[in-house]
Structure formats: C-alpha cells, structure tokens
Amino acid sequence: MAMLKAMEYRQYICDALQGVLSPDVILERNFWILAQADAMFPLLWSSLSNEEKEAAKPALINPMDERIFATEALRLRNTTARVLRAYNEANIPIICMRGVAVSETLYPQSYLRPHTDIDILFDKKHLMMAKQVAGNALHFKPLPAYPMLFKQGDIPLDLHIEPIGSERIQAWKYITPLHTQDFFKYAEEGELAGEKALLVHPRVMLPYLSFHALKHSFERLIWLYDIALLAKQVDGKGLWDEALQGIAEYKLERPCFYALSYAKKHLNAPVPDDVLQKIKPQMGFVEKRLFKRFMKHEVIPYLAERLFSRMLPSFPVWLEFWKETIYPRPEIRAQVAGGGCVKCNFIRTRIKQIANALWSFAKETVYIIKA
C-alpha cells in the first residue's frame, strides 16, 4: 500500500470505529504510526479482535497492548493527582482543562484517551502563588522563554489564567468573550484522579473544546472524538438547550458547527439537525469550499487563522489580529524561534510558514478557478 495521506488515514479511522477496517490497512505500518501520533491508537487497538491484533503486530514499530496504555495513563493520573492535591492544600481553586477532565468523564476507560501534559486554569490573582506551588511544592521546573510552563521529567504542567490563550495572542480576546470566570461559574465539585476537583458543565466545555480544536486547525482526530463523546453525553442528559445557550453567549457558533458537523457525520455523534441549523454561520463561496474539504477529512493548513479572522467584529480588529499573528510580541517571538538567535530563527521560521501558506493558497485559487 502506498504512503497514507491524512485524508485516507482519517477515513480509515472513522470506518474502524464503526467496526469496518480493511485487512490491508491493518498491515500498513504508516497507519499505526499516524494513529499513535494522533492519540487514536489505544481507542483503535481496543476495538480490534484478537485475530486482528495478531495480524497487526508485525506492522508495529514497538509492541503495544492495553497494559502499556494503562501504565502510561496511570503515570499521568498519579501526577495529576499530585497537582490537584497540592493546589487543594494551598487553597487555590483550579480547573483541569483537558487531560483527565476528558479521559475520566467521557471515556469508558481513561487509558483509551492518552495525554502528555497537564493544563490547569485559575484566577489571575493566584498567579504568583500558583507558580510557587508548581516549583516549590511539586518540584516542576520552569522552562526558559515560557513563563507559564513548567516541566518534571517529560510531563509539562501548563498554567493558564485565560482559557483561550489571549495572554499569548492578545487579539484572540476579540474572538470570544469566554473567560476564566465562566469555567468557575459553571463548575461543580467532583473527583478527578481520586482527588477533589471542579468539573465544568457542558455549557462551557462543548464550546471550549470546539474552540481549542479549531485553534489547532483540527489537526488531531482525537479532539474531534472528544467532542463527539461530549455531544453524546449532552444528548443523553438532555442538555442541548443549555449547550446552545453557551455557544451563543461565547459567540463560538463557527467552531462548534464545524466540530459537531464532523462528529455527527463521521463519529456517530447524536447531534440533532436543528442544533446544527441554529449554529450554522453565514459562509461565502471560499468558506463553503473550506468546510466541504474539512468534511472530507482534509487537514487544511492555517484553517484556524482563516476562520478566526471571519469571527472578528471589525476591520481594525481584523488588522490587529493578522499583525499579531504574523509578528507577535517579543516574548512570543522568542517562543516561535525556539532558542538560539531569536531574530534570525523567528524570521527564518516565519518566511518558511508564509511560503507554505502562499503555496497552499495558490493551489486553492487554482481549484476555485477550475470550479
């Protein structure tokens, strides 16, 4: 079999989750490499029969089974428990934004949803103390050029005072009015990783997870699968009216429409047609083509920026958004540069990104002309 494209891979994964997987695909090594990089491997592997697993083993680079998934999940779970315990003892209310907040509330077994980092959200007034807890109590080390990111071994702890990352790219604050206080307003006490934790209502989590997936241009299928499972939970509890209220309040109809449309068509999410109709955005000719490509499993370069720019309230804000996206603040340029000479590496990286974007847009222009 020739090298798999991302579109083909996603189609095969969606088919496999519905119990249809070609024997030829099972033997394709690149399929399993993509599944592991996409965090879909445990979910896919657990859906195979014993005979299919035996047939697939020669195609794996490293041996994999449920014990390995469970061991890695337990390691992250124990670290998350330590984080929750430390912040509870310090009387700093925090919310786990993803990680175990998704794996333990949406999946039948948490190891089916691998994650590699811990993201926590808290009020800005606790920032100094939160950093002290991360460094002094938990012994996570701060990373150079990343004032909110700490690391212990290979596990990052990412501190957030805003859920959408507007402290990093300030123009994002014009995209949605979703803020930290909304998470705490619609949270209730529960348990994660065996520790007391705040669990956020789907009214906030559904638009947030859709925004987060779009922020990364829907690059990973597992983010869309998270949303599909959350939609199933919303449907089962009869919470669509509340979810729609949250989507409208935070002005996140566009990312929710994209995510829920894909989840309904390809991941068996029980999303009512009237819900999609209520959140469907106005689309021009170009965006209609983007949406059509997205629904055909294509991972579209710079989809986030292209859709976010359509969600901005005015032309001056639009200009500010693109200015900061292309040439951000000095501390962000240092992060993009990734070390060494900031000016040289940032310019080199941006030139490469702009060249790739121009080439992508040129190909799209040709397709549009042909159409």
195-250 pLDDT, tens digit per residue, is 999 999 999 999 999 999 999 999 999 999 999 999 999 999 999 999 999 999 99
Residues 31 and 4 sit within 8 Å (Cβ to Cβ): yes
Write down the pLDDT at residue 1.
45
Angstrom distance (rounded) from CA 173 to CA 179: 9
* Bridge partner list, 95: 121
pLDDT at 4: 67
Going by CATH, does the domain composed of 65-200 fall within 3.20.20? no
Is-contact 371 289, C-beta < 8 A?
A: yes
Going by pLDDT thresholds of 50, 70 and 90, the confidence category of residue 276 is very high
> For residue 297, is pLDDT > 60?
yes
Question: Does the predicted TM-score (pTM) go above 0.75?
Answer: yes
% pLDDT > 90, the chain: 60
Mean residue pLDDT of the chain comes to 89
Provide CATH 3.30.460 ranges for the chain: 65-200
Statement: residue 337 has pLDDT above 60: no
For residues 227 and 213, is the Cβ–Cβ distance under 8 A? yes
Compute the distance between CA of residue 200 and CA of residue 179 in angstroms, rounded to an integer. 13
The pLDDT tens digits for 178-197 are 999 999 999 999 999 999 99
User: What pLDDT, in 10s, does the model give residues 45-73?
Assistant: 888 888 888 888 888 877 777 788 889 89
Would you tell me how many other CB atoms lie within 10 Å of the CB of residue 2? 7
Residue 180 confidence (pLDDT)? 96
Residues ≥6 apart with Cβ < 8 Å to 307:
214, 254, 255, 258, 287, 290
pLDDT of 70-101, one tens digit each? 898 999 999 999 999 999 999 999 999 998 99
